[in-house]
Amino acid sequence: MFKEIGKYLTKLFPLNRSISGRANEKSLEILKEICSLEIKSIPSGTEVYDWTVPPEWNINEAWIKDSKGNIIVDFKNLNLHLVSYSIPFNKKITYDVLKKHLFYLEDKPDAIPYRTSYYKRDWGFCISYNDFLKLDKDETYHVFIDSELDANGKMVYGEAFIKGKIEEEILISSYICHPSLANDNLSGVVLSCFLFNELAKKDNYYSYRLLLVPETIGAISWLWKNKKNKVKYALVPSCVAGPGKFGYKSTFLGNTSLDRSIEYALSNEDYIKYKFEPIGSDERQYSSPAFKIPTATITKSKYYEYEEYHTSLDNLDYISSINLNLTLDIYLKAINYLELDRKYKRKFNECEFMLSKLGNIYPTTGGTISQPLAVKDHTTHNYTSYSSGKILDSISWLSYGCDGDKSLFDIQNESGIPIDDLIYSLNILKSKNLLV
Ligand code: ZN
């Protein structure tokens, strides 16, 4: 349980993140407190494949007043009120003109929608439908937007790296471009940082890379800068702290070691499995033909599937740090399985191991196949009443299967032995230096 998660959600929620701008930099500075993170940037105007990094956008003030000077909408009350990337504007306009620039949701009359206009130069405000109905059709409105679009600016992102035993990398990539929205995707950003910090404390087999980028253009820019990357698998944490069920969106291959690791990690949970589709988050970029990185996502209240999505109702009341902790635990478990799914080799390949040399696991009376025995857990040093029959079976399968060719999951497939039983026995063999 990571108690500080709530503190960071509260601290980061009000910042007006977008594709670029000072709020993104400030968010990354705060996230640096959770894990070691390097803040990097790419200049506005850089052409990255079919895309161009947009000008840096910053906003100082934005409001609408009626002719008596009453404030109708004010960005400083809620940053969702302003369409992200709105251009500067300062004019008195009629109701009819204003209406063309207003966004509201008739079916959710209290909610304020989230809208962006990154690549079309325009401006707009988002209000609740109830507030929209209060506008006077004969009124003249003063619209004021003090924003900056700097073509010589930059787009910032965060990156971190942990070197493992091998160079192949597992990429953890999340998006930092959403303003005051909690499940989508402040939750994913905070989870990614806590996850990465936990991985940094471990002795990992894979190398790990953390990437906190504005969605789409950020991932495209990183791939453009790192064409020859060593990423084997990617995880895109997104929408991880809602009240709904866990979800798992598979990689485009669907049966990789990463997919199976996630399924093992979720095996005791009630979860929804989503098949891969090139719709969603940055798996769209990582899975593109030039890169073909199998990318998966574990969610809790998945995007598109909850009513509050992309509205002011996706706020800190909708999510909880307890839910975020639960999802973080699933990510950690999945990575733990992924780390263990290797091709093991025995120290010597000839015949079975002499099991009575392995300690207190072999029945002293021969003949029985499932005599329960007390076995010491090498992690906790407690004795557990594990069925020796299970252990003996799994050790036999490992003795047979650890030929340097089969992975742990291959042995699990072939034997049908539960993965945790195999891992338990794998640890016994490792502790006796019988595997190299
Ligand atoms: Zn979104």
Q: Give the per-residue pLDDT at 365.
A: 52
In the reported structure, the alpha carbon of residue 22 is separated from the centroid of ligand 1 by a whole-number distance in angstroms of 20
Q: Average pLDDT for residues 371-384, to the nearest whole number?
A: 48
Count of H helices and E strands in the chain?
Answer: 12, 20
In the reported structure, the alpha carbon of residue 185 is separated from the centroid of ligand 1 by a whole-number distance in angstroms of 7
In the reported structure, the alpha carbon of residue 327 is separated from the centroid of ligand 1 by a whole-number distance in angstroms of 19
175-204 confidence digits (pLDDT tens): 999 999 999 999 999 999 999 999 999 999
277: helix, coil or strand?
coil
Q: Give the per-residue pLDDT at 392.
A: 85
Q: Give the per-residue pLDDT at 373.
A: 42
Q: How many CB atoms lie within 10 A of CB 118?
A: 17
In the reported structure, the alpha carbon of residue 247 is separated from the centroid of ligand 1 by a whole-number distance in angstroms of 16
Strand partners, 170: 208, 233
**Which residues 6+ apart lie within 8 Å of 380 measured at CB?**
none
Phi, psi of 354 (to 5 degrees): -80, 100
Which strand (E) or helix (H) includes residue 189?
Answer: helix 188-200
Q: How far apart are the first and last CA of the chain?
A: 34
- Percent with pLDDT over 90 in the chain: 89
Q: How far apart are CA 425 and CA 340, in angstroms?
A: 12
Low-confidence winner among 4-8, 31-35, 432-436 (lowest mean pLDDT): 432-436
In the reported structure, the alpha carbon of residue 151 is separated from the centroid of ligand 1 by a whole-number distance in angstroms of 25
In the reported structure, the alpha carbon of residue 304 is separated from the centroid of ligand 1 by a whole-number distance in angstroms of 9
27-76 confidence digits (pLDDT tens): 999 999 999 999 999 999 999 999 999 999 999 999 999 999 999 999 99
138-164 confidence digits (pLDDT tens): 999 999 999 999 999 999 999 999 999
How many whole angstroms from its chain centre is CA 53? Answer: 23
Q: How far apart are CA 37 and CA 193, in angstroms?
A: 9
Low-confidence winner among 109-118, 286-295, 352-361, 373-382 (lowest mean pLDDT): 373-382
Give yes or no for residue 385 having a pLDDT over 50.
no
Q: Average pLDDT for residues 68-85, to the nearest whole number?
A: 97
Q: Are 89 and 143 spatial neighbours (Cβ–Cβ below 8 Å)? A: yes
In the reported structure, the alpha carbon of residue 239 is separated from the centroid of ligand 1 by a whole-number distance in angstroms of 9
Q: Average pLDDT for residues 229-246, to the nearest whole number?
A: 98
In the reported structure, the alpha carbon of residue 184 is separated from the centroid of ligand 1 by a whole-number distance in angstroms of 5
What the block records as the tokens of 233 is 């698998």
- Measured over the CA atoms of residue 274, residue 279, residue 283 and residue 284, the dihedral's sign is positive
Give yes or no for residue 372 having a pLDDT over 50.
no
In the reported structure, the alpha carbon of residue 431 is separated from the centroid of ligand 1 by a whole-number distance in angstroms of 46
Q: Are 338 and 233 spatial neighbours (Cβ–Cβ below 8 Å)? A: yes
In the reported structure, the alpha carbon of residue 116 is separated from the centroid of ligand 1 by a whole-number distance in angstroms of 10
Smallest CA-to-CA distance from 130 within 71, 208, 73 is with: 73
Smallest CA-to-CA distance from 232 within 164, 280, 299 is with: 164
Residues around ion ligand 1, judged by CB within 5 A, are: 184
With bands split at pLDDT 50, 70 and 90, how would you rate the model's confidence at 340?
A: very high
Q: Give the per-residue pLDDT at 370.
A: 47
In the reported structure, the alpha carbon of residue 233 is separated from the centroid of ligand 1 by a whole-number distance in angstroms of 22
In the reported structure, the alpha carbon of residue 211 is separated from the centroid of ligand 1 by a whole-number distance in angstroms of 17
Q: Are 18 and 57 spatial neighbours (Cβ–Cβ below 8 Å)? A: yes
Q: Average pLDDT for residues 96-113, to the nearest whole number?
A: 98
Give yes or no for residue 223 having a pLDDT over 80.
yes
In the reported structure, the alpha carbon of residue 150 is separated from the centroid of ligand 1 by a whole-number distance in angstroms of 24
- Percent with pLDDT over 70 in the chain: 93
In the reported structure, the alpha carbon of residue 210 is separated from the centroid of ligand 1 by a whole-number distance in angstroms of 19
Smallest CA-to-CA distance from 174 within 11, 385, 69, 331 is with: 331
Give yes or no for residue 321 having a pLDDT over 80.
yes
Strand partners, 351: none
Q: Average pLDDT for residues 217-222, to the nearest whole number?
A: 98
Q: Average pLDDT for residues 70-99, to the nearest whole number?
A: 98
In the reported structure, the alpha carbon of residue 281 is separated from the centroid of ligand 1 by a whole-number distance in angstroms of 8
Q: Give the per-residue pLDDT at 358.
A: 80
In the reported structure, the alpha carbon of residue 142 is separated from the centroid of ligand 1 by a whole-number distance in angstroms of 30
With bands split at pLDDT 50, 70 and 90, how would you rate the model's confidence at 19?
A: very high
Q: How many CB atoms lie within 10 A of CB 254?
A: 13
